Every structure is written in C-alpha cells, then in structure tokens.
C-alpha cells in the first residue's frame, strides 16, 4: 500500500512538472517538395505554404521561453531525483522506483533540451 502511495505521488508530481511543456509547443509545419513538372501549379501551392510558414514561425522570444520552461522542469526533476537518492541512501527509505523514474525523466528531458536548443539556435 505504501508503494502505491509513493508511486501515485511520483506520477502526480511528474504530471504537474511536465504539463507546461505539453502546452508550450506549437505544431510544426511540413515543407512541400517541388517537382520539375507542372511548375506553375506546384509553385502556387509552395508559395502559399511558405507564406503560411512565415506567419506560423515561432519567434525567438517564444523559443527562449520554451527552453526556459524545459530547464525549470529539468532542474525540478534533477533535484527530486537527488532528494530521493539521499533519502534512500542516508535515511533508508524505500523510494528506489520513484528515484529511478525521476532520474530517467531527468536524462530524457536533458537530451530533449539539448537537441531542441541545437536545432533552434545552432546556426545563430
């Protein structure tokens, strides 16, 4: 019973930490490929799509905000995993599963944060 309470607490905390991330991303657009035939028709479609892309482009300030929220969530996951590790190692608490879950989410979020930052800001 105690394990289920710890698991429930871990899941609720994780949902509250990750929820802002899910709502901060906007949908990505897909580029249309141009072919050599029927140039005028395809050009009309691609020009319309490029104009829509420019309207839907994420400004740099929003990108920084998304990365900031991801960084805050990453810090919360890291501190939670570290706190659970200390509680497990020093005080003998049975929180290994919760510690492992938060450590996994920390690593995953760190990788996603790095990849998104490189994709958005590497060419400067």
| Assigned domain for 92 exists | yes
| Assigned domain for 45 exists | no
| Assigned domain for 31 exists | no
pLDDT, tens digit, 9 for 90 and up, residues 28-69 = 333 334 444 556 767 777 777 777 666 667 888 999 999 999
Q: What is the pLDDT of residue 59?
A: 86
| Assigned domain for 38 exists | no
More confident residue, 73 or 9: 73
Q: What is the pLDDT of residue 1?
A: 63
pLDDT, tens digit, 9 for 90 and up, residues 68-89 = 999 999 999 999 999 999 999 9
Q: Which of 23-27, 41-45, 71-75, 94-98 has the lowest mean pLDDT?
A: 23-27
Residue 113 structural domain: 2-26+59-121
What's the domain count of the chain? 1
Mean pLDDT of 8-14: 69
98 and 116 Cβ atoms separated by less than 8 Å: no
**pTM exceeding 0.75:** no
Q: Using DSSP, state whether 58 is helix, strand or coil.
A: coil
Q: What is the pLDDT of residue 31?
A: 39
Please give the mean pLDDT across all residues of the chain: 79
| Assigned domain for 20 exists | yes
Instruction: List Cα–Cα distances, 93 to 50, 79, 86, 90, in angstroms.
Output: 56, 17, 9, 8
| Assigned domain for 41 exists | no
| Assigned domain for 40 exists | no
| Assigned domain for 39 exists | no
């Amino acid at each position: 019973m105690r394990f289920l309470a710890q698991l429930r607490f871990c899941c609720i905390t994780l949902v509250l930490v990750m929820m802002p991330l899910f709502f901060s991303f906007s949908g990505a657009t897909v580029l249309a490929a141009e072919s050599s035939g029927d140039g005028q028709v395809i050009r009309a479609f691609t020009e319309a799509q490029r104009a829509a892309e420019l309207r839907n482009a994420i400004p740099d300030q929003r990108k920084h905000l998304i990365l900031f929220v991801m960084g805050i969530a990453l810090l919360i996951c890291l501190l939670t995993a570290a706190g659970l590790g200390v509680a497990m190692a020093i005080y003998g608490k049975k929180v290994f599963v919760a510690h492992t879950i938060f450590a996994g989410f920390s690593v995953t979020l760190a990788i996603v944060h790095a990849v998104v930052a490189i994709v958005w800001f590497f060419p400067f």
